[in-house]
Structure 1
């Protein structure tokens, strides 16, 4: 049987890309996981969620386990609306869609708004799973560089003007992670945010704002693009994964009603009703502000330690951005192919993510790597950075001699 015969053209095109997650290597037992963008194990509220599940089932018996789910499901939507309002985003009920995490949200947006003719602009570097999703729907992807202040909005403006002058198709969507970006940890300043919104009006494109890390600030979080938006051009994606438990798969899309209607059309009734109900009960049982305060304190200490360890153990030629929140530090190692170095690091039981996987043009990321401080203990972070620093130093000496 010719299996390919049954796949439509767009699926055949998508299947030519690298398989999702292929970049992730098998990690040896006992590996120090500086690659893992996960919450620290001790910060995942397993006991709290266990209690919430118990309360839910005691009160409602089988109801949460049916297709329609618990009557508590709408509470989660209200809780997220309230949280968004506290952050300056006034979102009506019909302007909010609960999703199975941020990745489903991005996929729904791509499915509803993209085809092979649509141009998408992304940051360079950017979240690799978003790149994988976009490639399932279009190969028309253009990249705009990031610096220590986030997206180079000035360069994006130049690209837009040049494409318009040449009669090229303009981007219909810009995907950006403006706050504590993955992988760089950088944050777009307010001046750039306002200029980006101006460009969206001038060149008539939508902004897909991925705000997965937006509440994990070490100081004061900037206003989101959605909070600054006055024309409904920002489609805001958020998640509880980084502040509660990623396995619960709770995310959302906040956007103008016609967009939400379209996204919901493709989502259908594919809710994780049990997870949503349990999360609603859990959020009612905690002081979220206190939880965020704890998370911020832990991650700030770990980030500070990682930066200090880089200064102590890495060669002076290596540079990095110092984040003000989130999970990640973005490191440039001049003269080193970080993908080629990774097997040596894994042999020494330390992992990281090579930078090339965060770029549409992978050659741009050869000398970069992403380190995460969220998952490992402070002791393991320091030990892992020391091992990496020694490997990089030896690698550079061997190639210069």
Structure 2
């Protein structure tokens, strides 16, 4: 019997993509009872399981089999209208043909990369950045440029220096710049309005698009920052959003907002890769939910949890450790000079506490050796405080 040579059937671009680290390689195997400061998930108590149960029952009572067919419920168009309304309340006015519902934000990012990138295309990303976006982009191109961030977000003046140099030397300019301007993953930082405007100016001057990942944009502890898409007058911004952080990630409801010609192309390749039942269930849920009241609850809860995490860090972590204090979102970004956080992780897991090592958020993983990401969204306050106490002891031991 001659065994099939599976790899010989793969396309060349797939062979290249499969040389990358597998998706999710950054996620540690957690021991039982581990305090999960690694999990960028909603607080379990804030996932509206009962309300969604009621929504599903109402949907099936009213529509019987319709939501279970390929075309799904007549409520699906209503979901798009509901998301249009939410965007409009944040200053983003899009027509029906300028909005595509996706299966989560990740499908939106992948569709954009699939349509806009090839092995000749260049993409610029923040450094550090969302590791799953890096995984997606590396499936389509190896030509990725990192632009550093600081406490005010993407350093747009550094971006301009790169663009100037590439233009001067005749090198390919980026097809788009990927940014998480609001409560960034992993750093929790927020881009200033001055830099948002500068980024838009650069996109016009150097003819590139902006992929704005707005996954955490409504989770401010105070006033929500202005989305870049809301001040885009030239159609340069493709905004990706999601209900994962404000309702439930397992529902897989996301979107892309952009110019209609882009949306047509993305829809061409998305085809019917939808979840009609989830979309119609979400529509019913939103029909019967005071969403502003829900957002207030989310903001209050995460503000309190973030404060508890920061206070415990001030109490238990050595003085040499530093971090950004976020104004919203899920994460705190930590630097521990002289400690390789990847090596420290095995000890932390043995002590029953997890985090994500910083290296996974960088194109050059060596740049992240001294960093780690903590999440205050999932664990409860008592668990977080205990987790930071254990982590502080490990860090102090490593430094000594």
**TM-score, structure 2 as length reference:** 0.99
Displacement after TM superposition at 1:282 (Å): 0.2
- Residue 340 (structure 1) aligned to one of 317, 340, 343: 343
What CA distance in whole angstroms lies between the structure 2 residues aligned with 1:247 and 1:4? Answer: 33
> In the aligned structure 2, how far is the partner of 1:247 from the partner of 1:225?
27
3-state SS of the aligned residue for 2:224? coil
Residue among 371, 387, 390 paired with 1:387: 390
Structure 1 match to 2:276: 273
| CA drift at 1:201 | 0.2
Residue 161 of structure 1, CA deviation: 0.4
What are the superposed Cα offsets for residues 316-350 of structure 1, whole Å, 9 maximum, x if unpaired? 00000000000000000000000000000000000
SS of alignment partner, residue 237 of structure 1: strand
- Please list, as runs of the form range in 1=range in 2, the aligned pairs for 1:1-400 lying within 5 A after superposition: 1-397=4-400
Cα deviation 1:4-50 (Å, max 9, x = unaligned):
11111100000000100011111000000000000011100000000
**What 5-or-longer segments of structure 1 have no aligned partner?**
none
Query: Secondary structure at the residue paired with 1:30?
Result: coil
Offset, 1:91:
0.5
Deviation at 1:3, TM superposition (A): 1.2
**CA distance, structure 2, for counterparts of residue 393 and residue 75 of structure 1:** 54
Q: How far did 1:114 drift?
A: 0.4
* Distance across 1 between alignment mates of 2:256 and 2:221: 25
Displacement of 1:168 after TM fit?
A: 1.0
Instruction: State the alpha-carbon separation in 2 of the partners of residues 172 and 68 from structure 1.
Output: 34
- The Cα shift of 1:270 comes to 1.3
SS class of match (1:252): strand
Cα distance in structure 1, aligned partners of 2:181 and 2:207: 19
Cα distance in structure 1, aligned partners of 2:384 and 2:223: 25
Q: How many residue pairs get matched?
A: 397
Q: Distance in 2 between matches of 1:215 and 1:39?
A: 13
TM (normalized to structure 1)? 0.99
| Displacement after TM superposition at 1:381 (Å) | 0.6
Q: CA RMSD in A?
A: 0.5
